[in-house]
Structure 1
Amino acid sequence: MTNEDKKRRDFIKKMAGLGVLGLAAAAGIIGGRYLKTDKLRLRPPGAVDEDDFLALCIKCGQCLQVCPYDSIILEDLEGGAGVGTAYIEPRERGCYLCEAFPCILACPSGALDHEKAEIKYVHMGMAVIADESACLALYNKPVPDSAIDRIYEHTKVLTDEERETKKIEDIPNPSEKRELQVELLKKLEKFRGKQCTICADLCPYHPDPTLAIGMVAKNGGYIPEIREACVGCGACVELCPTDVLKIIPRATYQEIYKKA
């Protein structure tokens, strides 16, 4: 029995008792190859190697349900063979690196490794400067209102009125999810009309965001500099007003920035 055959057998065993969704997922790998998305997705914190992730993810959505920032989504039919697997689309909602990593702890199959529920083990990918010329800080331009308003549209805990007016209501006994997402909006609001340093100032890497990203002087302005501690969470990509940054899933700092 080959190693691939063993992985398929073990995976199908995990499907037992999971109903139609599980059986459908298992059926897709019986053909003799692993099911992969059309492009490499940014996986949640703690994700094992891609082939193992696709074999182990049972598409249960539990990581999605416990995510405080609503960062995790499930691959739809357009994702091809990876349909139902968990991923993050940074421009729509980055990961904010919760200290408890509830997504990892909620995973029942090992697709998100419980032994990696600490920031020192998290490595999702690597941020890169995709379009330096678009950086507002390079030209000392202020953050436009539209850039901050866009994040209100990403914030699922808000009411329709809050999204429309861009004013947060004080409600009694808010959920932890609402508190965290509203706190992010409050931090972002401080940048309205100010010089943009959002990517560096709101980086969620802990305990020291400057190890992951910082602003450096260039041509009379500033640009972001990606540093070795970056874990590719994608928060900077979501919050950037002008698409300066992108995430390369599963890439390392050495691969991107230390090539000979």
Structure 2
Amino acid sequence: MTPSERRPVTGGLVWFDEPKPPRATEQLSRERVVTAAVELADDQMPDEITMRALAARLGVRSPMALYRYVGSKDGLVDLMTDQVYGQITVPRGQGWRDALQGMGRTGWDVVQRHPWFARLAFSRPPLGPNALRLYDTALAELEPLGLDAATRMGFIKTVLGHVLGSGLALLEEHTMRARVGLHSDSDLAAAVAPYLARIAAEGRHPHFIAWANDPQRLTPEPQSFEQVLEWLLDGLATLVPPEGRPPT
């Protein structure tokens, strides 16, 4: 952020600490500003967006005009992340496992569309209306299990942790590929081939080289998001009291 964009930031949450945004104009409203910020973050990923770039996207002369609608840069992050939280869904009435599985899968879809979300989601408390709705719905589906409060939230955080951790890995991979110009898997394979040949010639890691030379090593894809999600749910199922488990 440049000096002309700076504004005192308290770190407070936009939901509670900022005044309501002014009446929408033809050019600006809170919804338009946040939607444009999400689109800009998608386009510029992995670079952090600036208020100046956002103002230019909206056709606004002064970046300071945007603060009237989002309060601060932290407020913008709150609003952006909550808009994306609203794209994660929890199936209702089909049991706890289907609920968390659906939350995980739609969350993975979200972080693939918006990789920056995984980074920003860790930077601010999830207390916006969409995030609260997500947590409340997931907790409602876990309620019949009779688990204690910490365990119920632990179930949810286990799945969302997998979503956001996988999203961060995806973001860092995109960052690396953009930085070094390895845009495809074949580009990456060609770049590491000389190093693998050197490791094989040294003979100190025979099991790794045997794996690397196995043509079936990626079939099926090891540790796909979906596979790890199923492993996590299998582990969580062991904490469910017998009366809460489906009949076998």
- TM-score, normalisation: structure 1: 0.24
Which structure shows the higher helix fraction?
A: 2
Higher RCO, 1 or 2 (CA under 8 Å, sep at least 6)?
Answer: 1
- TM-score, normalisation: structure 2: 0.25
Which structure shows the higher strand fraction?
A: 1
